[in-house]
Amino acid sequence: MASTIDGVAVVTGAGSGIGRAVALAYAAEGARGVVVVDLNYEAAMETARRSKPIATNPAYQALAIAVDVTDISSVDSMVQNVVETFGRIDYNVNSAGIGVQQHRAVDEVDSLEMNRFWQVNVMGTLNCIQAITKVMKTQSIATVGLRGRTREVGRGVILNVGSCNSYIATPQIVPYTTTKHALLGLTKTAALDNAPHKIRVNAICPGWVNTPMVDAAVEGNPNLPTMMKTIIPMERIAEVEEIADVIVFMTSPRASYVTGAGWIVDGGTTLQ
Ligand code: NAD
- Specify the 3-state DSSP secondary structure of 44: helix
CA gap 87, 128 in Å, rounded:
17
How many helices (H) and strands (E) in the chain? 9, 9
H/E element holding 121?
Answer: none
pLDDT class of 2 with cuts at 50, 70, 90: low
The answer to whether residue 257 is catalytic is no
The answer to whether residue 91 is catalytic is no
Give residue-wise pLDDT tens across range 54-95. Answer: 999 999 999 999 999 999 999 999 999 999 999 999 999 999
CA gap 234, 228 in Å, rounded:
10
Query: What is the per-residue pLDDT for 1?
Result: 47
> Which residues are paired to 10 by β-bridges?
35, 92
Pick the residue whose CA is nearest to atom 36 on ligand 1: 163
Interface confidence (ipTM) of the complex: 0.99
Q: What is the 90 CA–ligand 1 centroid distance (Å)?
A: 22
Q: Identify the active-site residue in 176, 198, 229, 257.
A: 176
CA quadruple 115, 118, 121, 127: dihedral sign: negative
CA gap 70, 82 in Å, rounded:
18
Whole-prediction pTM: 0.97
Give residue-wise pLDDT tens across range 112-163. Answer: 999 999 999 999 999 999 999 999 999 999 999 999 999 999 999 999 999 9
* Identity at 111, one-letter amino acid code: S
Q: CB under 6 Å to ligand 1: residues?
A: 12-13, 15-19, 38-40, 43, 67-70, 95-99, 120, 124, 161, 163, 206, 208-209, 211-214
Q: With 70 as the cut, is the pLDDT of residue 35 above it?
A: yes
Give residue-wise pLDDT tens across range 223-232. Answer: 888 888 899 9
Atom of ligand 1 nearest to the CA of 21: 26
Q: Identify the active-site residue in 26, 91, 180, 198.
A: 180
Size (the chain), residues: 272
Query: What is the per-residue pLDDT for 202?
Result: 99
Give residue-wise pLDDT tens across range 187-220. Answer: 999 999 999 999 999 999 999 999 999 888 888 7
CB atoms inside a 10 Å sphere around CB 49? 12
